[in-house]
A = this chain, B = another copy of it.
Amino acid sequence: MPELTKTEETPPEEIGTRLRVVRQIYGLTQRELARRAGVTNGAISLIEQNRVSPSISSLKKILDGIPLSLADFFTLNFSPSDNVFFTAAELTEISFGNNISYRMVGRRVAERGLQMLHETYQPGADTGEAMLRHAGEECGVIVAGCLAVTVGSHEKTLYPGDAYYFRSDIPHRFRNPGETPCVLVSANSPPSF
């Protein structure tokens, strides 16, 4: 990532506006950028006025002239207590459906970007066929027992020490296929509930 990491200003919703901001950050004129990118200055002008929606091939050429990757271009969004310690006793156990329980680390605070659960799946426990989907990312490490994790069209059974990491809006499901309770520690970012 080039050194514009902290563009604090509002992430422009319109692509053209965003391009103009980026171009100016890099101190380029429309013509200079056009020359480097191998497009015409008129095209850049029209894009920056949001009068046309560039094809990704054009946008890529333009960004190559900066240079800036498509991913960085779209990512260039902004950036993203006193109760620190919790004894196991304080972490009240909450039941989630029938056979799944967890202890949430910390109180539910809207401002937080991270949620950690100490979860127990009883044998046969299952989040269900209707797959889970929500924003963010999540990961976990199996501590005891085993857990069958389905993510998208892939499924795998994980054992102690194994782990998973996926984007939470890919449909997913957890199930304990074993004979003993499954214990794991999982994290969500941002908190999913």
Q: Which of A's residues lie within 8 Å of B, judged by CB? A: 1-4, 15, 24-27, 52-59, 67-77, 80-81, 83-88, 91, 103, 105-106, 112-114, 116, 118, 131, 136-141, 143, 149-154, 156, 158-167, 169-171, 185, 187-190
Contacts and interface: CB of A to CB of B under 8 A. Distances in A.
Contacts of A67: 169
A103 B162 CA distance: 10
A6 to B, nearest CB: 11
Contact of A163 (B76, B116, B138): B116
A174 to B, nearest CB: 13
Given A53-B56, A105-B164, A149-B85, A113 B80 contact: yes
